[in-house]
Amino acid sequence: MTLKETREHEVAKSDRLDTVTAVQLKEISIDGLTCIGKGQNSVVYRLDQDTIVKLYKPCPQLMRQISMEKRNADAAYALGVPTARALEIVRVGENYGLMFEYLEAPSLRNVIAKEPNRLPDLAIKSAELLRRLHSLNVPKDAFPKISDCYRERVAGLADLLTPAEINLLNEMIDSIPERKTYIHGDYHRGNIMVRRKEPGHSAEDELLLIDMSDSSMGHPIYDVLGTYMLGINLVKTFPPDFIAKFIGWDTETIVSAWNLFKRTYFQTEDKGELAEIEAMLEAYCQLRWLTFLKIAPAVTEDMRKKSIEEARKSFFPMIRTHIERFKGRIEAMGCVQ
Ligand SMILES: Nc1ncnc2c1ncn2[C@@H]1O[C@H](COP(=O)(O)OP(=O)(O)O)[C@@H](O)[C@H]1O
Ligand SMILES: [Mg+2]
């Protein structure tokens, strides 16, 4: 069997939980366990040598979110995406968690914070991995469509924006063609893990992905926007001390990681071309940012207000111009299907 066939077989055997009722779940305790990581939505504990549990912060529709993460992680694994196997949904006291295979690999964020000299190699590898992921076509109905997810988030902004503004955001989503490409959905340094090869081993470090909750099907620009938004975009938007605290990398590191990533992902060294790509991502990143205003726990009321004021000044009036300007470039991205 090929790797893909073996994985499909394993996943078919495993429990497929589309919806779960809390009473059916195994109960575990995290007393005395070591916390090995934290994300926006979760705290992660090491359960034993081979497994971890991702304990979710309470939120509306939590069980739907956990079931979706399990389903997407299964489907991504079956597709051959280098990721941890999702195991079982469990109850932890009043809360819920999802068990995963433990990856003996620190995040790219932590690796570079400790060993900045590994940046060039790993920034290039992360762009190459994303190019490989974007060569994968997903089976029908294996993942949600990312454009639907954006449309749903935009609809959720109806109390903050005017109907005309909502229409403009939907026009921008419509300007991104549909594709059958695999999309990780949250491709940033905290979700990329680096498995180091033994010293003296000839093979290279390997990158693995976690946090498959936003995995979907669609146009590759959505993933590049994920990298852009939580990287260079922050440098353009926030002061350096906030960046160092929030990202754990200094401004220079973020800029140099982005330049390497961009040149590798888009396979160009041409300055004019790179500037146009940057302008396209800057414009479409504003769409992504607005779709996060209601769902990102780190976004405060004040940030939300300021983002909307700013968008009214310089983004909404420009949306149709952006769409016209970048149309051809977006259509040419990835393989047309
Ligand atoms: N399978 C795993 N093996 C080892 N560490 C993990 C694993 N999954 C998550 N982690 C650790 O937990 C952190 C948060 O996990 P993540 O799935 O990204 O949560 P969130 O959805 O809240 O962002 C990661 O940055 C990583 O350090
Ligand atoms: Mg994460």
Task: Name the band, by pLDDT with cuts 50, 70 and 90, for residue 26.
Answer: very high
**Taking a C-beta distance cutoff of 8 angstroms, is the pair 322, 283 a contact?**
yes
pLDDT of 282 > 50? The answer is yes
Which phi and psi angles does 115 have, rounded to 5°? -130, 80
pLDDT digits (tens, 9 = 90+) for 321-332: 999 999 999 999
**Which residues does ligand 1 sit against, CB inside 6 Å?**
36-42, 44, 52, 54, 84, 100, 102-103, 107, 190-191, 210-211
Among 77, 210, 230, 247, residue to substitute to test ligand 1 (most atoms within 8 Å of Cβ):
210
Two tokens at 320?
A: 């149709």
Burial class (CB within 10 angstroms; exposed 0-12, middle 13-18, buried 19+) of 155: exposed
Distance CA 136, CA 142 (A): 13
Task: Name the band, by pLDDT with cuts 50, 70 and 90, for residue 334.
Answer: confident
| Contacts within 8 Å (CB) and 24+ apart, 94-98 | 94/58, 95/55, 95/56, 95/58, 96/22, 96/25, 96/55, 96/56, 96/62, 96/63, 96/66, 97/28, 97/53, 97/54, 97/55, 97/56, 97/66, 98/53, 98/54, 98/56, 98/66, 98/69, 98/70
Distance CA 52, CA 328 (A): 44
Q: Ligand 1 mean position to 321 CA, how many Å?
A: 39
Task: Name the band, by pLDDT with cuts 50, 70 and 90, for residue 241.
Answer: confident
CA-closest residue to ligand 1 atom 8: 210
pLDDT digits (tens, 9 = 90+) for 46-85: 999 999 999 999 988 899 999 999 999 999 999 999 999 9
Among 54, 85, 292, residue to substitute to test ligand 1 (most atoms within 8 Å of Cβ):
54
Which domains does the chain show, CATH number per domain?
3-101 (3.30.200.20), 108-332 (3.90.1200)
Ligand nearest to the CA of 107: 1
